[in-house]
Chain A
Amino acid sequence: MSFAIETEGLIKIFRSRWSGKEVRAVDRISLRVEPGATFGLLGPNGAGKTTFVKMLLSCAHPTAGRAMVFGRDSRQAEARRPIGYLPENHRFPTYMTGRSMLDFYGALSGMDSAARRKRIPELLATVGLAEWGDVRLGKYSKGMLQRVGLAQALMHAPALLILDEPSDGVDPIGRRQIRDILHALEQQGVTIFLNSHLLAEVELFCHDVAIIHRGRVALEGKVKDLTAGSGYRVEAEHVPERLEHDLRARAMAVAQRNGNVEFLFGSRDEANLAVDLLRAQHCEIESVARTSSTLEDVFVKAINEQ
């Protein structure tokens, strides 16, 4: 099966041209997003989220590793055909109207003019800007720009939607409208990859989540498992690769911390079984604890502990 997004050991190092100083923005990230998933990428500012997204879109070139989109190397132009993207801090040309902007980006996405003519009024109506299609973007408010930006990302009916802070600057009604659009797309089987620092938004919408910190995946798993009322966290060191792989299949979430591996299990039995297996392999158990948390708790803990 080809994943909507699949990265293997993705690394991005930025080197200063003059001082030669290196910044490791993304450090060996391996992620898999299944088709039809709603995936949230979380992390504090400067964690490497945007760099990671830029490598998926080939805006930035990986230093090592690879990124695949529906089985195609992200560096190929064709890999970007099924992607609709709304960047953070976008700067749409203000000389364009909403209609001409959608027409332009639709054409770049490979749509013919007849398809664009049909699609533009539909999308403007969907994002609540039907009356604003012929107004220059320079006259749009931040929230309106965000909505027309979403329409732009949806122009060619993408199979994968990558949204970078989609509700940034949008009022509560606009946010609800965006969420409703995204829910409708989810029903249609569109994969939605949400890059956001708004934990509540991710918790409300995404089923899967990964938390990135200092360029690494600090934690990943299903939101409902991570925030489950009860669970058992088992942290161990010197875990052999094969055992880690086996336990990963049983765990709700797995995180790497200071060379240790932390597994989150849904039941006491599974946690006990994991402890038995780990001890049988002479692994050191660092801690075993019961958990109860919100996504915010999970986020803060993941960041603080890494």
Chain B
Amino acid sequence: MNSKTLGVTLALVRDTFREAFARKIVWGFFGCSTALILFFVFIMRIDVVQGAIATVSLFGNTTRSLDVQRLVRQAHGAIAAFLFTAGMFLAVFASAGLIPSVFEPGRIELLLSKPVERYHILLGRYAGNVLLIAANIFYLVFAVWLIFGIKTGVWTAGFLWSSALTVYMFAVLLTVVVLVGVLWESAAVTTMVTFGIMIVSPILAQQATLERLLTSETSRNIVRGAYYALPKVFDLGRIARSLVLGDRIDNWMPVWSSGLFGVVVLGAGIYVFARKNY
């Protein structure tokens, strides 16, 4: 990447950050993360006895004794689950407006009049969006990991890996935002379609059960096809949980097939954008 290309990419990323911060929702996201971190720093007290058993105090009330390893992994697991559900919805909601806003009449013409390829504009915006959410997720996860590590002496890398998987899942879902944003230029439609994919994911994850319940072969093929074609948010959530708990992961198919979906959808977004008249 030469210096001009890098300069353009950085400008597009910086612009995405600037716009995201101008929208209050990103501050809300950042605020929630900070509130959670402060909760773990000041409110929750963990006493480790002989390096194994911990008592947890919340607002001065001591709860039952727990195995410290288990305690840390469960807390990490709860945060990872939160990030994969509510956090992911919030991230998509926060980002959904950032892609279509680029296509507003009067703004897109000016961007396209610059000596920058169309795919570069779209990828710069996409990268800015991913980096923005990644910064927020890493901020929360790393801070919580550090707090628990300092308070308990338990340092597990699985939690950090799970945050990388969360960002990966977001990056895949953001490709849907890009494609729908290019096609319809509407934040509302973009949000609805992406949320739809997220909501349908846990249902499709039960495809083995569904196939048993369905009577026609066509229906079974449709369910099977949809499961393999669409991003597997629910399955990746399970993998993230396994990473946190230190369980063995036997099947990485949901990871690579979701990535493949992302590549195809992003490619389609770039193709449509390149051909569109503004």
Contact = CB atoms under 8 A, between A and B. Distances in A.
A83 B3 CA distance: 21
Interface in A62-120: 77-81, 83, 85, 87, 89-96, 100, 103-105, 107-113
A77 B117 contact: yes
Contacts of A100: 18
Contact of B109 (A59, A96, A103, A107): A59
B275 to A, nearest CB: 7
Nearest to B10: A107
A61 interface: yes
B104 interface: yes
A77 B119 CA distance: 11
A96 B101 CA distance: 14
Interface string B96-124: 00000000111111111111110000000
Given A57-B112, A58-B112, A110-B4, A89 B106 contact: yes
Among the interface residues A103, A105, A107, which one has the most CB atoms of the partner chain B within 10 A?
Answer: A107
Contacts of A60: 277-278
Nearest to A57: B113
A110 B7 contact: yes
B67 interface: no
Interface in B250-278: 275, 277-278
Contact of B116 (A90, A96, A108): A108
Nearest to A63: B277
B203 interface: no
A57 B7 CA distance: 21
A77 B113 contact: no
Given A78-B115, A107-B8, A110-B115, A90 B110 contact: yes
Interface in B193-220: none
A54 interface: yes
B22 interface: yes
Among the interface residues B7, B19, B109, which one has the most CB atoms of the partner chain A within 10 A?
Answer: B109
Given A91-B104, A100-B18, A107-B10, A77 B109 contact: no
Interface string B1-14: 00110011011101
B273 to A, nearest CB: 12
B11 A108 contact: yes
A196 to B, nearest CB: 17
Contacts of B10: 107
Contact of A85 (B12, B108, B110): B110
Nearest to A80: B115
Contacts of A77: 115-117
Interface string B230-253: 000000000000000000000000
Contacts of B109: 54, 57, 59, 85, 87, 90
Contacts of B4: 110
Contacts of A108: 8, 11-12, 111, 114-116
Nearest to B7: A107
Contact of B114 (A92, A96, A109, A112): A109
Interface of A: 14, 54, 57-61, 77-81, 83, 85, 87, 89-96, 100, 103-105, 107-113, 152, 162
Given A57-B112, A95-B22, 16 more contacts: A14-B277, A57-B109, A59-B108, A59-B109, A59-B112, A81-B115, A85-B109, A91-B104, A91-B106, A92-B107, A94-B22, A103-B11, A104-B14, A108-B8, A108-B12, A108-B115
22 contacts: A57-B109, A57-B113, A59-B109, A59-B112, A59-B113, A60-B277, A79-B115, A83-B113, A85-B110, A90-B109, A92-B110, A93-B19, A93-B107, A95-B19, A95-B22, A107-B8, A108-B8, A108-B111, A108-B114, A109-B115, A110-B115, A162-B113
